[in-house]
Each structure stands twice: as structure tokens, then as C-alpha cells.
Amino acid sequence: MSQRTPHAALNTYHLGLWYSVYRFIITTGLLLIYLLTYQQLALEYQYPRLYLYVLSAYVLTSSLQFFVFRGLKTHIQIQLVMLFIVDVSALSLLTLALDGPNLHISLLFVICIFAASLLLSAQKALLITLVAVISVIYQLFIGTLFDITSLKNIGNSALLAFLFFVVYGSGQIAIRRFQILENLNFSQSLQINQLQNINRYILEQIKTGYLVLDQNCHIVLTNPEACVLLGIEPLYQIEAAYPLYKVQPDLFEVMKFEDLPDGDAFQFESQQSRFHIHVRVQKLNVPHQTLTLLVLQDAQKLNQHVQQLKLAALGQLSASIAHEIRNPLAAIVQANDLYQDSDPEQQQLLHKMIAKQSMRIDRIVQDTLNMVKNKETRPVLIHLHSFLQQMIQDDLPDIQKQVRLNSTEELKIYFDEGQLTQILINLIRNAIRHNDPNSPYIELNIYATEQKAVIDVRDFGSGVAKQDQASLFQPFFSTEITGTGLGLYLAHSFCEANQAQLSYVEQNDQGACFRIICFRAVI
């Protein structure tokens, strides 16, 4: 405590000032009590004149030190030492005048020593404590030499001296705790200040407007972009809540009279602003209050951004379609060039090639249309085991012997029947194509996990390479030369439309597994 920060020194000054006020009040009160009760309690005072003279000087000195301490804010530690020396000296003489330790004077002694432990350094506080102990113990011996008092109160004095050391130790423990708490508070204050500066910097850089309102429609927080959009003066450095009706009355009318639930959005125009503003509402639940966050964006820029995204998606889709059509179209053009100069047998082969490539182009176009159009989903109750048996028999007659259906129980789900058929046909034919030639079948496993039904389509081939797994369900991604890359994408989209999940499950031993997870129907 020898080196104090300006903040700690200021705290010490204020505490010392309050202690000076306490001294003045206590000494004045003791003097008044003596003057008012001396006639009734004259026997309580062994040396009343000494008590009166010391107490009068104590009151005068306390008053003088209070005004000096209040006016002179330098050399605080020296002034505090002088305060405690006067206290110890005066209280020692008062104890002597009462012929030994008194409960009230002893309590004032204890308060003095504890205050010294809090306001002074450990060495100075120990010095004050030792002076107090010496003054209490040795005043009895000195008094005996001059025949002023006797040794009859030596036990009480020794006990009081021991109490002084206990109070001093307690004060040192307390001051250390206070220092730890002060350092922790100072460190947390620095961290909070840094976070506030970082948050303010982020808010200043964001090109989206943010406006936080409390329950009374007062502005709690905003950023420069919100002020620009709303046409108001910059308020992002305000220290307290600011009424919205003063700065943006048009928005206040909307917030006051409209019930805006969480997630709601609306368009807003104001005479104060030249912008057409898109506003999104979000409720913020914080302790003891509910705040409303308004996310403000320029509607014109927002529409332009959406249009740019649509154009980018359309450009990507067009490029993908053009890339997929180019190969079969090139084969058709080449076959057409060779057709006239070929013999009948070659012409037949070229005719089949043209037909095959034309069908491939048609399949690409049809898959693209299925991907783009938003076909309505009509889920119905499906008994999985019987449905899969019938589907394999009707839609996969050429490969039905290569599909092994494993079902542990009869499961029911809600799913669009046509879309589920298309998904499973795609997955099963993919599994057959990639299956190990030495394996006579693929597996179609059906089982339940808690409230969900699971359909696994598993083959025993080489599986999907790790670098390709992240792109499996992206449109136009295919590891086959003749594939369109839309089958798995459409299957994934159909599953999402029916609140189901389609995922690839990597196998530890061999093969690939595509898993469909959907909710079981409770009948």
C-alpha cells in the first residue's frame, strides 16, 4: 500500500474525510454528555478536570483537523497519521482520567485502530497500534510512580492491549481482501470497457442499421447506419435511454400502436428520411426487461441484393445445364456428320447413338424442370414393408432379385407416395450400379429408432471417396460420365419437402449407405 494509484488515493481521501466527521461528532457528543451528566455521575470520573481539559482539547483539535483535511488534499497519509496520533493520545489520557479502561473509551480505541489498518500502510498502522498498547499499559506504571493511580486495572489493560493486536490483524486481513476485490473490479472494468469499445467499433462499421428500444420505446442502443436510414442525429454514444418520440415520431407511432411479434417485418417510410426502410423485429429477453431490436435496411439495396443473388443462381444453373448438354450434343453433331457417308450397318449404330444422346438431353431437361418447379407435396399414410415389396415388384422388375429387403417390424410413415418411389428407385439403381460385381445383392434395411423410421440403402462396392462426400447432394455433381448429377439432389430435396433427412453414412468395412430418416406415424 506504499504506492497507491490515483483512484485508490481518492478513495482513501474520502474515507479519511468521513472518519474526520466521525471524530468531530464523537468528541462533541462526549463533551456534551460530560457537561450534562457531571452532577449525577461525578463519582464515575477519577480525575474530572483532566477528563474535561483533554476532551475540550480533543474537540478543538478534531474540528481543526477536519477543516484542514477537507481543504488540503495533498499529503493525505501524513494528515491521517496525525489524526490517529491525536486519537490515541487523547483516548489514552481519557482512560487515565477514568482510572482504567472503560467500555466506551475502549470501543473508541478499537475503532481507531481498525480505521488505521484500513487507511494507513501496514507499517504505519502497526506503529499506531503499538503506541496505543504502550499508552494503555504503561500509563498505569507511570501513574503509580506519581501516586496518581494504582495497578488494580492492569489485567483489563492487558486484555485491551491484546484486543488491539487482534483488531490490527483483522484490519490487515480485511484490507487485503478489499485490495483483491478492488483489483478484480478494476480488471473487470477494463475488460468491460474494452468490450464496449469493440462493440461500438463493430456497430460503427456494420452497414445494417440496429436500433434497440426498451419497453417504453426509449432508444437504448443504435449505430450510425440506423441514424442515417432514419434521418436522425447520431445517437450511438448516448449514455442513457432517449425517447424515440423526440427523434423519430413516425417510427414511434408504428411501435406504439402496432403489435409487432418476434420475427415480424414491415416496410417503413418517414418524412425525416429519404430511404424506404425494411424493418425486421426481434425480441431480446434480458434480465428484468424485454428489449426490442429493430434491424433496418435500405429496401432498395435489399431488393438489388436479392436480384443479384437470383441472377447469380440463374447464371450458375445455366452454366451447369450448358455444360451437361454440350457433351451429348457434340456426340449428336458428330454422328450426324458421319451418317450420310456410312454403310447401313454403321448408320443403324449412329442412329442408336443419336437416339441415346437425345434421350440423355431430354432427361437432363426433365430433371432440371423437376428441380425448378415447386411441386406440391401430398403426404399419405404408408405401410413401409408392403409398400417397398410392391414398389420393387412393379417398378424394379429387372433387378428385383438383386434387392434384399430386411424389415424388423411393420412401420408406418407419412410421405408423398410418388416422391418416395422416385427417391428409392434412384437410390436402389445407384446402389446396383456401384455394387461389387461379386456381391449378388444390395440391402434395403428398415428399422426404428425411438420415434423415427430409418430406411438404409446399402451396397458392397468401393463406397464414396472422402473428397466427394461433401458434394454428393449438390446439383449437377456426378462421378459418372453419363450421369446428370441431379438424381441425389432431387432425392434430397424431396426428403426435405416431407420433413425427412437423406444422408450418406460412411461404412467401416465396405460399401456405401444412403439413409432416409423420417418420423413414424402414430395411429
What's the confidence (pLDDT) of residue 516? 92
Grid coordinates 506504571 are at which residue? 141
Name beta bridge partners: 503: 515
Given a cut of 50, whether residue 190 has pLDDT beyond it is: yes
324 in Cβ contact with 476 (< 8 Å): yes
What's the confidence (pLDDT) of residue 55? 85
Assign residue 100 a region (left: φ > 0; alpha: ψ between -120 and 50; beta: otherwise): left
Name beta bridge partners: 222: 211
Q: Cα separation of 137 and 457, whole Å? A: 97
519 in Cβ contact with 453 (< 8 Å): yes
Q: Cα separation of 41 and 37, whole Å? A: 6
Q: Indicate the pLDDT class of residue 474, thresholds 50, 70 and 90.
A: confident
Which DSSP state fits 42? G
Find the farthest-apart pair of alpha carbons in the chain and give their distance in angstroms, rounded. Answer: 151
What's the confidence (pLDDT) of residue 148? 47
What's the confidence (pLDDT) of residue 1? 41
Q: Indicate the pLDDT class of residue 33, thresholds 50, 70 and 90.
A: confident
Model pLDDT for residues 99-112, shown as the tens digit of each residue = 666 667 777 878 88
Q: Indicate the pLDDT class of residue 27, thresholds 50, 70 and 90.
A: confident
H/E stretch holding 8 reads: helix 6-37
- Measured in residues, the chain has a length of 523
Q: Indicate the pLDDT class of residue 417, thresholds 50, 70 and 90.
A: confident
Which DSSP state fits 74? S
Q: Looking at per-residue confidence, does 407 or 313 come out higher?
A: 407
The rounded Cα 116 to chain-centroid distance in angstroms is 44
Of the candidates 439, 395, 426, the residue with the CA atom closest to the CA atom of residue 514: 426
Question: 379-519: same fold as 207-301?
Answer: no
The CA radius of gyration of the chain, in Å to the nearest whole number, is 46
Given a cut of 50, whether residue 147 has pLDDT beyond it is: no
Model pLDDT for residues 391-408, shown as the tens digit of each residue = 888 888 888 888 899 887
**Alpha helices per DSSP H over 376-504:** 384-395, 417-434, 466-469, 487-497
What's the confidence (pLDDT) of residue 456? 92
**Alpha helices per DSSP H over 373-459:** 384-395, 417-434
What does the mean pLDDT of the chain come to? 78
Residue 432 Cα distances to 120, 303, 512, angstroms: 88, 47, 11
CATH architecture of 207-301: 2-Layer Sandwich (3.30)
Q: Looking at per-residue confidence, does 5 or 174 come out higher?
A: 174
Task: Determine the average pLDDT of the residues in 26-47.
Answer: 76
Helix or strand or coil: residue 407?
Answer: strand
pTM above 0.85?
A: no
Query: Starting at the edge strand that comes first in sequence, how are the strands of the sheet with 277-286 ordered?
Result: 242-243, 218-222, 209-213, 289-298, 277-286, 265-268
Task: Determine the average pLDDT of the residues in 464-468.
Answer: 76
Domain residue ranges in the chain = 6-186, 207-301, 302-372, 379-519
Q: Cα separation of 387 and 422, whole Å? A: 13
What's the confidence (pLDDT) of residue 2? 41
Secondary-structure class of domain 302-372 per CATH: mainly alpha
Domain 379-519, classified CATH 3.30.565.10, yes or no: yes
Q: Cα separation of 63 and 83, whole Å? A: 11
Model pLDDT for residues 7-20, shown as the tens digit of each residue = 566 677 788 888 88
Given a cut of 80, whether residue 160 has pLDDT beyond it is: no
- Cβ count within 10 A of residue 506: 11
What's the confidence (pLDDT) of residue 78? 84
Lowest-confidence region among 182-196, 257-271, 478-492: 478-492
What is the share, in percent, of the chain residues with pLDDT greater than 90? Answer: 2
Q: Cα separation of 498 and 522, whole Å? A: 16
- Phi first, then psi: give them for residue 485, nearest 5 degrees: 80, 15
Q: Cα separation of 253 and 247, whole Å? A: 12
514 in Cβ contact with 504 (< 8 Å): yes
Q: Indicate the pLDDT class of residue 3, thresholds 50, 70 and 90.
A: very low
Task: Determine the average pLDDT of the residues in 289-317.
Answer: 76
Q: Helix axis angle, 103-119 relative to 122-145, nearest 10°? A: 150
- Phi first, then psi: give them for residue 344, nearest 5 degrees: -55, -40
What is the share, in percent, of the chain residues with pLDDT greater than 70? Answer: 81
- Cβ count within 10 A of residue 175: 19
Of the candidates 48, 133, 146, 135, the residue with the CA atom closest to the CA atom of residue 89: 135
Model pLDDT for residues 206-232, shown as the tens digit of each residue = 888 888 888 888 888 888 888 888 888
